[in-house]
Amino acid sequence: MGSRSIEEVSAAAPGAPRWFQLYVQRDRGLSRDLVQRAEAAGYEAIALTVDLPVLGYRDDILRIEFDPGPDAYGNIPHRTAWASELDELLDMRSVGLTWDELATLRSWSSLPLVLKGILTAEDAKLAVEHGAAAVWVSNHGGRQLDRVAAPIDVLAEVVDAVDGRAEVYLDGGIRRGPDVAIALAMGARAVFTARPFLYALACSGEAGVTGALAIMHDELARTFALLGVRTPAEITTGHAERVG
């Protein structure tokens, strides 16, 4: 559903880490084609979204009549209007994906498979047992299932459940450098964030994103210095205290 094709995005970031986020479609052939295109274009992992079998009830989406234009979709057949055909667009996804199907998905390419949207120890264990190279703790930005747990609140149990058999990532609520340090101290291998850079892009374009990245980097470097560590690898559970 990106506004640019897989190949265009890859070409715009030569030498940078590139992962492809996959929403499995009802048409498995289309999904397989996307994965294989991603591998051919130099992507290094497939991040499979597992927490959105249906769209949450979102009043803002229902209110907004937004047409992204004829060139909006770089990777799937064009849909002419967002508001009127949102349900049709989302219905292309598979709502019946099961754990057993992960073997088929992994057979489509040699890339490691990351499961995005894990929020429980039980699912984390199943993910590892079914060949996931990493689990990504996420509640989809908190905008799908209201009152769902915050990722940081379940990170520790997921890390314990994985027990070193796979990497663990986190997104959700990462706004400043100390947020990154907290997640690392609780066992995350890496974190992801989007909204700060989305807002920076909306306000000031490329310069805004560059500035936001500089702020995040500076904050994190200062946080490390104040904690007495030199690298992310030196962050341990002893650097975070859980209260309550």
The residues annotated with a catalytic role in the active site are: 140
Q: How far apart are CA 206 and CA 204, in angstroms?
A: 7
Residue 119, Cβ neighbours under 10 Å: how many?
A: 24
Strands 190-192 and 167-171: parallel
24-60 burial string, b = 16+ CB within 10 Å, else e? Answer: bbeeeeebbebbebbbebebebbbbbbbbeeeeeeee
Collapse the DSSP code of 45 into the 3-class scheme (helix H, G, I; strand E, B; otherwise coil) and give the result.
strand
6: amino acid identity, one letter: I
